[in-house]
Structure 1
């Protein structure tokens, strides 16, 4: 039986109910799914650019990104929904943004079992090496306001709670198992698994693969040359006002933290203390990932 996920305070029972009863209104809905800090915002940017391109091909009108959260709301954020009607609908700013690209985009850290139904839904499941996920999530939650689920303990305390599945969204291994079979393949045929390391190594190839999955089709070299510069870590850091989530409040600790950090691979292993590494590995004895994903440990 699937465990109940621990969630942030921004998710209420009515939020989960709204998700389960939601009926997409646009011809296409793309839901970017991941355990936190697995490349979610990066993929949000990819999907936005591809759907903006598809809209431009049809209308010859260019869409300007105001904020990624307008186009790709956090589906489990209660504020993303309007409860003035039955069933609940998305907030008006999201509906307006989606009408401009003729598609709906969400991002989520929930399990597959909680997702809305619909044949016109496409999923992208993002994955990243576990130590980097844990390390990045520590930086994220330690700069998030405590009332929104932010973390106030030490890194070592965080690693221990993360490894025990006590941090928001539960254990990394359980999350992967909710979306993937034991061999690492996707459980739902509407879902495409994308590895963070593949995007780091070959962003052009990754964009082309995602475009085919969501129905945008073949991307020309000229279109790719236009899109790719806006997908870099530098671009997102330089335009952080368009990418920092609005679903929670942030704490300025005066340490130069940015929601878009470095995007590196291997920092988790470099920054873990010896005891952190021991606790980290012990956690996977209790919450192992699918056998087909052990290369991400």
Structure 2
């Protein structure tokens, strides 16, 4: 799981992390990216301007935010026909309006957001992983139908094709499987409910901050090493807490989040190149020939 998939434009709201995605169709519709001064900036990064691919747009926004110290930029559709905008993007219009932003008159504050993993679990043509009877479908899987820099809609196609393949394979083989009856019940003797849930919630926040700051849009060996060292501390604290606590959804989620963070960082550290969504300043992209080979 070497990539975090970045959506270049997620609604930014002060005091909250971006959590409402502004569809990329809005850039195709004609939305323009601007800095907080109202100036366009994509011409500095790509001749396709605001229509550049998502990884380029996300890095451009990240670069502008680092240059100015701002925590967001703007997406502008005020030059488009208001009625057409409301018809094309009713949910975005309603959500922004609920926050006091009329997208037909006001700029939309946006920031890049990591919202899922891209291509992590290798599967065969039946969507089955290397663990027999474990299927992976959609954005978590690596099918070979897309590259490291896939387009947003490809996962929808894959989800349909591979979900069908997984269902057919599972139905054809279900009668051959037997239930295990010798699995012992979970033994939580000697454990207790955590006295302070804040220990878990704070650790989740710290993992989010580590991954977003050091393993985010633009990476480097220094940032990855620093993230690894900080995640080590959280891992040790969480394992100690887990052994003392009754199992709960929250603490299991925290352990899973930390493990996924390790997997992402390990693969990022091992890849000595920039490719697709994995961009590192220590290994800048190499010029490629017309067939994609490195020159």
TM-score w.r.t. length of structure 1: 0.26
TM-score w.r.t. length of structure 2: 0.26
Which structure has the larger Rg over C-alpha atoms?
2
Ranked by relative contact order (alpha carbons within 8 Å, sequence separation 6 or more), the top structure is 1
